[in-house]
Structure 1
């Protein structure tokens, strides 16, 4: 069981690592800090609740079941962090946000102190690593401790459910999807973890044994609920960045034919290499290198080649824009062939400005690359004629 719990804690905690991929920037954002704090505390709850951790804590402290108030206190801190996260996510005037955060801390801080105090007052001499909630359900002080930690966690998760339902009606897109994931995770926690715990404890109060709900049903439901909540918190912040990287990778690959044609004329510094270099960075290097190469090939641009290709494209029924791109691709291919053959630049090179240099971003370069692939001029400048030491 401990291995499964540790695995859930690791997966849960990895989302915080992803959000902190740029620590200097992230730590200045209260929303990112509160998100990471909630995720880290949630991971620590899992770690602390694992039987192996409980046994180790009990042995190191010399106090039987000391891992219980540690876990319950950590769970209460996690519940408080969820409320703080929702407060930052909702936003509002800074003074109001600060006041609500302090109120949450004022509610859960004393709760943690009371949990530890009740454990100290109770008699928990028999070590229980998996069924402490039900084993001590009727023990003085420990009974109150168990009930308090459950009520504190229930208050936070039910508040989350209400707020998620309310806010999901006011937002759209990824934020709504994230809120729905948080709602699903919270409901799973309420039904699968809390209700199972309450039922097992109340059964003990009435002399019945439903410990299996507390020991076998509640832990996996809590793990799954926490993972859904973490996905909901991370999704709206991470998915746009992932989409941007996917688009960059797509454009990087689509610029391959253009780079293969013009790389000889590029004098840009060699880009850093390594698997850790993200697609956006790779695309930026390729874009800069291509623009640098286009400047180097400008003395070889021939208006006659461009005009012939333009006329042919128009006769073929292409639109004015498509014909322009096709003509520029033909002129570029001819210039690349001349440069690769080390011919002299034209005495009067073209003064035409490529469409790809008139627009921002990579869209113009991608159009030019696609035109090169389609152009019959590609055969006049095979890729093998252009070599370079970097790409």
Structure 2
């Protein structure tokens, strides 16, 4: 059991770290992002505290038998509150209304946590139970009420989340809809695998039956899976788009590197090297700016004769007109890079333009970088094209 909940806690903590440290200052100022981080982080803490190994350690550290139980129940209640607040913030609306609803949720669950602690302090629970405390003390005064309170508090939160997400899912599409579906899956797992299992086991004890396996064996792995599904549902719409952007930026950066190696020596404006800690999208932007600076420096050295000869040769090799045009511009660029001397301003006589870059932006730069592999460009780079420049 400890391994299952520790694994869930680790994955949830990793999600919280990614959310928070992607943009730490902005995350703390944004109520939605801060709420998401709180939900995932408190969930990780709840799972960590609910593991039998952690419970035993907490009990020994405090010197209070079963102190890990109210601590865990308080964290579960705080997690329920964070869920409600997140749904409120995610749904949106007037700030005053959001603030009122958030404060009301915190007040209700804050009172619930206080009641849990008070009831535990009044109860007679001197036998340490690390796995079956809910059912072992199901008939013990005050412990019974404490267990019912945390189950009801968590159950109400889960039902509210499920209803809100179901209604909202009908109004949205795309990643947000996918995220809501994952949240609903997590809610169903939580209701069936945790709430229903725990309540059934506790009620069975009230009636004199033993169904403890529902609480000790079924509930922990199912609620772990449900919490992971909910957390992924919350995180996915916020992290996937920038993750995809950075992934594409990384590949574009690598694809543009040959073009930068071809023309980089001609750049005249000083450019600070990007930090190795910069995200791929920022590095790509730096590289594009640097390449455009080099292209501006090389533009006066573009040769119409090289362009014309390269275009004819590319067409003769069977390339389509569009492919031939890109290859011809890449060949003209390679020829200009071979002849250009940034210190020699008397040579600035060319008037050709790179239509590929002007028309298609980053896509055009990538096309040019790919075209640099053409034999036509290699011939221009070596000066073996028959042109008037030579």
CA 1:301–1:136 in structure 2 vs 1: closer, same or farther (change >3 Å)? same
Distance across 2 between alignment mates of 1:118 and 1:343 = 83
Distance across 1 between alignment mates of 2:344 and 2:326 = 25
Q: Secondary structure at the match of 1:255?
A: helix
Q: Secondary structure at the match of 1:137?
A: coil
Consecutive unaligned residues of structure 1, counting only runs of 5 or more, are 383-391
- Residues 326, 375 of structure 1: 8 Å contact kept: no
Using the size of structure 2 for normalisation, the TM-score is: 0.90
- Residues 249, 284 of structure 2: 8 Å contact kept: yes
Task: Kindly report which structure 2 residues correspond to 1:1-391, keeping only aligned pairs within 5 A, or say none.
Answer: 1-20=1-20, 21-267=22-268, 268-269=270-271, 271-272=273-274, 274=276, 276-310=277-311, 318-319=320-321, 322=323, 324-339=325-340, 347=347, 349-359=349-359, 361-374=361-374, 376-381=376-381
- Residues 263, 290 of structure 1: 8 Å contact kept: yes
Residue by residue over 1:38-68, the C-alpha shift from the partner in whole angstroms, topping out at 9 and shown as x without a partner, is: 1111111112111122122222222211111
Residue by residue over 1:183-221, the C-alpha shift from the partner in whole angstroms, topping out at 9 and shown as x without a partner, is: 111111111111111111111111111111111111111
Distance across 2 between alignment mates of 1:94 and 1:141 = 40
1:98 CA displacement: 1.2
- Residues 299, 353 of structure 2: 8 Å contact kept: no
Distance across 2 between alignment mates of 1:260 and 1:61 = 63
Residue by residue over 1:301-328, the C-alpha shift from the partner in whole angstroms, topping out at 9 and shown as x without a partner, is: 1122223434566786844x55543332
1:15 CA displacement: 0.9
Identify the residue that residue 388 of structure 1 maps to in structure 2.
none
Q: Secondary structure at the match of 2:29?
A: coil
Distance across 1 between alignment mates of 2:205 and 2:319 = 83
Distance across 1 between alignment mates of 2:361 and 2:295 = 15
- Residues 87, 101 of structure 1: 8 Å contact kept: yes
Distance across 2 between alignment mates of 1:375 and 1:364 = 19
Q: Secondary structure at the match of 1:19?
A: helix
Identify the residue that residue 387 of structure 2 maps to in structure 1.
none
1:298 CA displacement: 2.8
Runs of 4+ off more than 6 Å: 314-317, 342-346
Distance across 2 between alignment mates of 1:184 and 1:103 = 27
Identify the residue that residue 389 of structure 1 maps to in structure 2.
none
